[in-house]
Amino acid sequence: MSIVERLCSQRVARSKHVKALALAISLSVSFGAAASSESLQSYQPVTPTIDQARANILIARQLQFTHFRDLRVSDDLSGDIFDTYLKYLDGQKVYLTQDDLDGFVDIRDHLGSALRTGKLQPGFDIYNLVQKRIIERLHFALNLLDQGVGNLDFGGNDSILLDRSDSDWVANSVRLDELWTKRIKNAVLAQRLNGSDDDTLTDTLRQRYEAQLKRAYQARSEDAFQAYMNAFAGMWDPHTSYFSPRTSENFNINMSLSLEGIGAVLQGDNEYTKVVRLVPGGPAFQQGQLQPADRIVSVTQEGETPVNVIGWRLDEVVDLIRGPRDSVVTLEVIPSGAADETVTKAIAIKRDQVKLEEQSASKKVIELDRNGQSYKVGAITIPTFYADFQAMQAGDRNYKSTTRDVRRLLEELQAEGVEGLVIDLRNNGGGALHEANDLVGLFIDSGPTVQIRNANNDVQILNDEDPDVAFKGPMVVLVNRMSASASEIFAGAIQDYGRGLVVGSQTFGKGTVQAVRPLNHGQLKITQSKFYRVSGGSTQHKGVMPDIEIPSRIDNTLIGEDALDHALPWDQIDAVDHTQYFDFSNIIDELRLRHDKRFDASPEFSLLQQEIDFLKQQRQQNSVSLNMDERQQQHKQIERTRLTIANARRELIGETPFDSMEELDDWQDLQAADLKSNDEETDFVIREGGQIMADMLELDRRTAALPAMGSPLTSKAQTAQASTEL
């Protein structure tokens, strides 16, 4: 008897103990029971293949012997693998029950040894049971809709937990029926609050559940294998993952930048597809409304009806979003800062290729007057670390790259008489490592830029060998939570060398290097080394901490390396000798004081803080009411707050306030392209970077606190390490 069959038998036996309780629940339980019988007969369990078993053995060997983390494949990992696998399959704990989990006792502690030897059946048994339970639940939902949403009671004191990931599993199917009745009531309330009548919302929800049901019945062996291997590989770190042959194809397309789409990196997140990051210069980045951690509810092609994608496989969602250039796709998303899953937003994006020129560095000049003194500060925005490899390989001496473009912009800015420089790396997710190395080289005489340690503890040091310096003045580097990888290498090096101050918020903390290795079946992306700053501290996990902090709307608990399960820890190795050019210790307290005073008096910062507080309050809301009147009041309060903040920002720029949320939403749809973070007219953070630079120049004139470039304070690695330790 398989595990699935045994669990089903156990469930029948336990039903005798809950019969009395079942009679008190209403007719919905009988619908659930009928659905259970039908779905168990209809679902065809998936089974592992020989190729998958061979790939499993290869993956186990690669993880154990070539991954940066020294971790053995053994039964010591079994419990964590089991929990991670269930989190992937049923992260919100809405399909399985404690009764189901009790049936897994025999295999829970032995997954490690099974995976070491290619025995996949235990993982497939778990997957098949989850699929059966999904089918049961969806039939239950459809049956409840068939009874009529008008029969649901929205007048009591019921509420529903928004995030069940840390909750206990419900005891049995009867309790699960109660939970799903609440989930459906919540979905109905959401549609009513969005203006849908009962007939329309019933059709919408039925289409959603039927689409999910169809995909559950169409489960493939590869779906189970990929989920199981990713739960296994994820024990080593969150960036190590298995790509099925189909996913490998999509990965290779993305790496070649030949994909025509919206320019967003997506990943599965329970039933949803979640936005991980936006590609700088891509259509979604330029449109300006889609944000990291947004979850996609539906996808609409031009002239067609929306397709609900909740419960879809990631590759299917990617295929639906991908399309020909200049066509428009509309994504309905749950914004990352939404109070609950009932708040959605439609975002229309015109598909296009990500063009290299749209990722290029750009410049501005910020002119400031202080007590009769004028200051001219240059600002360079770098969306990504790019290089035109094809032109480089073809021998084109004028190929585009980050370093080449920034050198040219520096020459232009210095010709305009700038005294200081702001480098904006916010939302820069990294890119070509050699470009980060070369870019550091524009601001130092020569020396190391980053250390790379592999699993054998061998350390490679990348150096700037060119003594030429493109800019010798003081610098400010702007970062935020979405500044990652190569951005962190550059910001960390500038901080360690004392070439400038880092301003903004803690960076992402992505300090690892991955390689993609072929298997007999698919590919394995595996972490093989780790980045370290010249001061010895890793950029992994902690990222780069700013010298002067500016709060951000981004929730660090949702975005960032330290928000990921099994992330490699921060550590440090020996520092390497490097020069420290400027000593900011005499002026940093004064710089922070001036910055704080400006922000306390700044209406833009006041609005930013209001938004941050509002979003934080929304995220902290653990449950929502299922009472219609109470829910309407909450909905209206949220809309009033959004409208108040938007109108306050309108008044700052001399524009007429909006009369309603509908007017605000319409305006956002029309003006989305003007909402990019690098728009100087609406972005006060880059102006504040200029203000901090003006403070540095002013204090330098008064106290001569900053030595001239070429007069290093020290070349001892120990001193530099002490002054910049994270």
Residues 372-396 have pLDDT tens digits of: 888 999 999 999 898 877 777 888 7
Q: Which of 525, 527, 533, 534 is nearest to 561 (CA)?
A: 527
Residue 527 gets the label, from left (phi > 0), alpha (psi -120 to 50) or beta, of: beta
What is the SS3 assignment for 331?
strand
How many CB atoms are closer than 10 A to CB 707?
14
How many residues can be counted in the chain? 726
Contacts of 670 (CB under 8 A, 6+ apart): none
Quickly state the pLDDT bin for 569 (edges 50, 70, 90).
very high
Quickly state the pLDDT bin for 417 (edges 50, 70, 90).
very high
Strands of 500-504's sheet in order across: 362-370, 373-381, 420-424, 475-479, 500-504, 548-549
Among all chains, which residue has been given the structure tokens 């290795």? Answer: 517
pLDDT in tens, 483-499: 999 999 999 999 999 99
> In percent, how much of the chain has pLDDT > 70?
85
Quickly state the pLDDT bin for 38 (edges 50, 70, 90).
very low
Q: Which residues sit opposite 307 in a β-bridge?
A: 299
Contacts of 217 (CB under 8 A, 6+ apart): 42, 43, 44, 135
pLDDT in tens, 336-374: 867 666 678 888 888 887 665 567 899 999 999 888 888
Q: What is the DSSP letter of 18?
A: G
pLDDT value for 340? 64
Identify whether the C-beta of residue 643 lies closer than 8 Å to the C-beta of residue 664.
yes
The residue-averaged pLDDT of 672-677 equals 41
pLDDT value for 354? 65
What is the distance between the alpha carbons of residues 503 and 499, in angstroms, rounded to a whole number?
13
Looking at the predicted structure, is the pLDDT value of residue 65 above 50? yes
Q: Is 538 a catalytic residue?
A: no
Catalytic-labelled residue, pool 345, 510, 530, 542: 510
Identify whether the C-beta of residue 687 lies closer than 8 Å to the C-beta of residue 365.
no
CA distances from 200 to 61, 168, 205, 245 (A): 53, 35, 9, 40
Identify whether the C-beta of residue 464 lies closer than 8 Å to the C-beta of residue 447.
yes
Say whether 356-513+529-600+685-724 and 258-350 share the same fold: no
Contacts of 23 (CB under 8 A, 6+ apart): none
Among the residues of 234-292, which ranges form H helices? 245-255, 283-287
pLDDT value for 27? 29
Quickly state the pLDDT bin for 718 (edges 50, 70, 90).
very low
How many CB atoms are closer than 10 A to CB 566?
16
Between the ranges 197-211, 261-275, 408-422, 672-686, where is the mean pLDDT highest?
408-422
pLDDT value for 378? 96
pLDDT value for 172? 96
> In percent, how much of the chain has pLDDT > 90?
53
What is the distance between the alpha carbons of residues 499 and 447, in angstroms, rounded to a whole number?
13
pLDDT value for 671? 54
Looking at the predicted structure, is the pLDDT value of residue 550 above 70? yes
pLDDT in tens, 470-487: 999 999 999 999 999 999
What is the distance between the alpha carbons of residues 246 and 226, in angstroms, rounded to a whole number?
11
Looking at the predicted structure, is the pLDDT value of residue 709 above 50? no
Q: Mean pLDDT for the chain?
A: 84
pLDDT value for 195? 84
The residue-averaged pLDDT of 144-168 equals 92
Contacts of 593 (CB under 8 A, 6+ apart): none
Q: Which of 512, 4, 522, 527 is nearest to 229 (CA)?
A: 522
Looking at the predicted structure, is the pLDDT value of residue 32 above 80? no
Q: What is the DSSP letter of 16?
A: G
- What radius of gyration do the chain's Cα atoms show? 28
Phi then psi for residue 299, to 5 deg, are: -130, 130
Identify whether the C-beta of residue 316 lies closer than 8 Å to the C-beta of residue 294.
no
Contacts of 301 (CB under 8 A, 6+ apart): 323, 327, 329
Whole-prediction pTM: 0.83
Q: Is 485 a catalytic residue?
A: yes
Question: What is the 3 state secondary structure string of 118-148?
Answer: CCCHHHHHHHHHHHHHHHHHHHHHHHHHHCC
Q: Which of 409, 478, 420, 467 is nearest to 706 (CA)?
A: 420
Q: Are strands 512-518 and 500-504 parallel, antiparallel or unpaired?
A: unpaired
pLDDT value for 717? 43
Catalytic-labelled residue, pool 485, 487, 529, 535: 485
What is the distance between the alpha carbons of residues 99 and 13, in angstroms, rounded to a whole number?
11
Q: Which of 63, 52, 48, 120 is nearest to 521 (CA)?
A: 52
Q: Which residues sit opposite 455 in a β-bridge?
A: none
Quickly state the pLDDT bin for 702 (edges 50, 70, 90).
low
Of 120-134, 578-592, 640-654, 662-676, give the lowest mean pLDDT range: 662-676
Of 233-247, 332-346, 534-548, give the lowest mean pLDDT range: 332-346
Catalytic-labelled residue, pool 125, 340, 496, 700: 496
Q: Which of 396, 401, 404, 399 is nearest to 385 (CA)?
A: 401
Rounded to the nearest angstrom, the gap between the alpha carbon of residue 636 and the centroid of all alpha carbons in its chain is 29
Phi then psi for residue 637, to 5 deg, are: -65, -40
* 667 vs 656: which has the higher pLDDT: 656
Looking at the predicted structure, is the pLDDT value of residue 319 above 50? yes
The residue-averaged pLDDT of 565-586 equals 94
What is the distance between the alpha carbons of residues 161 and 621, in angstroms, rounded to a whole number?
9
Among the residues of 462-602, which ranges form H helices? 486-496, 588-601
pLDDT value for 7? 44
Between the ranges 139-153, 606-620, 702-716, where is the mean pLDDT highest?
139-153
Q: Is 496 a catalytic residue?
A: yes
Between the ranges 189-193, 289-293, 562-566, where is the mean pLDDT highest?
562-566
Q: Which of 217, 218, 187 is nearest to 202 (CA)?
A: 187
Q: Which of 407, 275, 405 is nearest to 335 (CA)?
A: 275
* 95 vs 194: which has the higher pLDDT: 95
Contacts of 119 (CB under 8 A, 6+ apart): 53
- Torsion (CA) 211, 134, 222, 332 in degrees, nearest 10: 40
What is the SS3 assignment for 673?
helix
pLDDT in tens, 164-223: 999 999 999 999 999 999 999 999 998 888 888 999 999 989 988 998 898 899 899 999
Burial of 75 (0-12, 13-18, 19+ CB in 10 A): middle
Burial of 702 (0-12, 13-18, 19+ CB in 10 A): exposed
Quickly state the pLDDT bin for 310 (edges 50, 70, 90).
confident
Q: Which residues sit opposite 474 in a β-bridge?
A: none
H or E stretch covering 320? helix 314-321
pLDDT value for 622? 86
Domain 258-350 - what CATH class? mainly beta
CATH 3.90.226.10 fits 356-513+529-600+685-724, yes or no: yes
Domains of the chain by residue range: 3-233, 258-350, 356-513+529-600+685-724
